[in-house]
Structure 1
Amino acid sequence: MREFVVEADGGSRGNPGPAGYGAAVIDPKTGETLAEAAEYIGVATNNVAEYKGLIAGLRAAKALDPDASVRVRMDSKLVVEQMSGRWKIKHPDMKPLAAEAARILPASQVTYEWIPREKNKHADRLANEAMDAGKKGRQWEPSRSTAALDALDAKAARVVGDAAAGAAKTRAALAGRGPAGEAVAGEAFAEPSVAEAEAAEPSVGWGPADLGTPATFVLLRHGETPLTPEKRFSGSGGTDPSLSPAGMRQAEAVAAALAARGTVQEIVSSPLKRCRETAETVATRLGLDVRIDEGLREADFGAWEGLTFAEVQERYADDLSAWLASTKVEPTGGGESFATVARRVAATRDRLTARYAGRTVLLVTHVTPIKTLVRLALGAPPESLFRMELSAASISAVAYYSDGTASVRLLNDTSHLR
């Protein structure tokens, strides 16, 4: 029985927006590209384009040999997990596409494997070629040879890797610049283009290490609850309030903004209701599923839950003063100290960066976990928690590289709410 590798990808410039897919059938023994397919499909979401790429790749493999075994390699965790049967298919747009893909070849002939985006450059290039052609009103046509373009991809990866490694070693010299580019709000969690990578010139003495694509955490604070405007303590030990009408509007606004940016690939949420509601609103817009992680819950404020700062000061003045003086002090009644929360959040960060290496993940969580992630990324002292502003439904972003370097790319962006 012959063996094929199908590499497939899809993209949308806007999510939803102008979209296209690319797929390649490869001989795993020789590395030879046996067939390529790409197409501009009009306005669609990332996930629809990913599925279209899968369908095109499977059809191309079947045309070459309907009896061959096929190993599908994609950087879409959603498609890989759904087609492998490990995740349920909830979105109505995905169900017919998954069914169509499943009918092309017998399930016994096809296996699925997730790969990082940087290892899916061939299919990604084809998808972008298709979108570029569609923008000009043309159909996709093969461009330069695969070997030449793959060499270009490798060169770009080396340059970006060199720049990232150098930045990790020379932070003081590059103040204000993240390992993969300028930390400007509009591009805070975008990846560098190939053109940008080619233009980058590594400085003398920078090593050849390639740190690859970082795990990027887009940190979203939940929308308002009835307690938010009154500035009441609202943690894990309180009433678990839902979003207010204003909070729901904020969630819709941030969902639209994230869809326009089109970079989020996964969504992970705190188990508390206000975060789950915010996350589900975004997930519906992006066509993604929400994974719950206990490590993202807010601190437990003990007896202070539901009280304003003034009320706590009136009833528990000494305890409040001690809490403000040290992150190791718990709130009255057995709540969590900030030091305890920091250990929990750090463990969650390490687990999620390992799971989502090379991915852009939306973490829907609370004030304390977000401030803690930013503080740890900056190496700032614990008291810096009291010196950050974090509005409801605000977006922050931190990128984590394979050598442990962290780059804060955005903090408290609320432009989507204005």
Structure 2
Amino acid sequence: MDGKLKDAMPVIERLSAAGHQAYFVGGCVRDALLGRPIGDVDIATSARPEAVMAIFPKHVPTGIRHGTVTVFVKGRSYEVTTFRTESDYDDHRRPSDVAFVDDIRTDLKRRDFTVNAMAMDADGRVIDPFGGMSDLERGVIRCVGSPDERFREDALRMVRAVRFAAELGFRIAPSTWRALRRNAGLLRHIALERVGAELDKMVRGADPDRAAALFIRSCLWRTTKTPLETNGLPACAGKVKLSGLEAGDLRWIALWAASNVSPEAAHHWMSQFAFGKKRMRAIFAPLELHAAAASIPDTREAWAALALRHGRQAAADWLDVMRALPGISPVPADRLARWSAWLADIPAFAAAELALDGTELAEAAGRKGGPWIKRTMDRLLLETAAGRLPNERRALLERALRILDNEPDGKDEP
């Protein structure tokens, strides 16, 4: 038995000792049977929530209305959920009516896909009422029961079907795929933040190229709560091999760079993914650079100005993506090589990194502070980045004073 399941065994044992049924359920069972690394360990039990809380003094009633209690054993946390049925789903996402039951098979019946609708007891015996083990062997993602019903209950399951198929290398059963296409429009009821979390797992997953292809073929990208620019995303199909990039935001950069979607439209769509400002900047600064790269002359100064505008990391990430996927690069390989060398040679990307600061400049120039300082420092920064000026205090000061000779009264330009 997997180490994570062994670590969680005391939870099963304590529930059983108190006279309740208890099983490992869902993804941890699926991954254990496939020999894959296990993520979260979920446990289902016949014990009612109040009984679970009585058995485990250290607990948090994280989803008490739906029967879920997070318990703590030996410093680890586990979600323990009472066997239940669900009905009357609100907005094609959350069940409004939950009833606790005593039979694990009834509980498994409410789950999304057969490969996730299995339970395992403490002895490793698998309860599989819907053919999940057979679907694992055949490599199939198939809904439990009616796929139309499953997707109407929770429209996010359509995106999860695509993710599981790509991550596990499985195919989607024809009946499940047809139902997914029929019900794609229901995705507009799901918060884009939830859809984004699934898409992020796909892009960072084992086969992001297949995930992207399935997401595009399903037309789910058109039916999200905030629709993406029409016909923009399919342009990337077949152009990129995201799996050739490390499993991080370089893949997002490559995906959008290969599409016909404008950076503005992509940013508007992804801004609802709740990625945070820092991460969004890390993705879209390289894309803004990408949009401008083809139009600049092949000179060190032009490249330095573009790199300074977007930042060292953005420039480096963009170059990494273009070198890995030359088919989507707006400039030839020899130019990428030159720009990479020039980037490595830029000594400063901010005025604060120069060997001269604004206070020293004002004192040497005999002027009061003002916008002229920033303007002059920016000139020094560009000339340093362009390789025309060393990042040395004396050289910087001499050049700054020459620049200021054209502004003897210190007034700002109109």
Say which structure is richer in helix. 2
If you compute each CA radius of gyration, which structure gives the higher value, 1 or 2? 2
Which TM class, normalised by the smaller chain length?
under 0.3
Pick 1 or 2: higher relative contact order, CA cutoff 8 A, min separation 6: 1
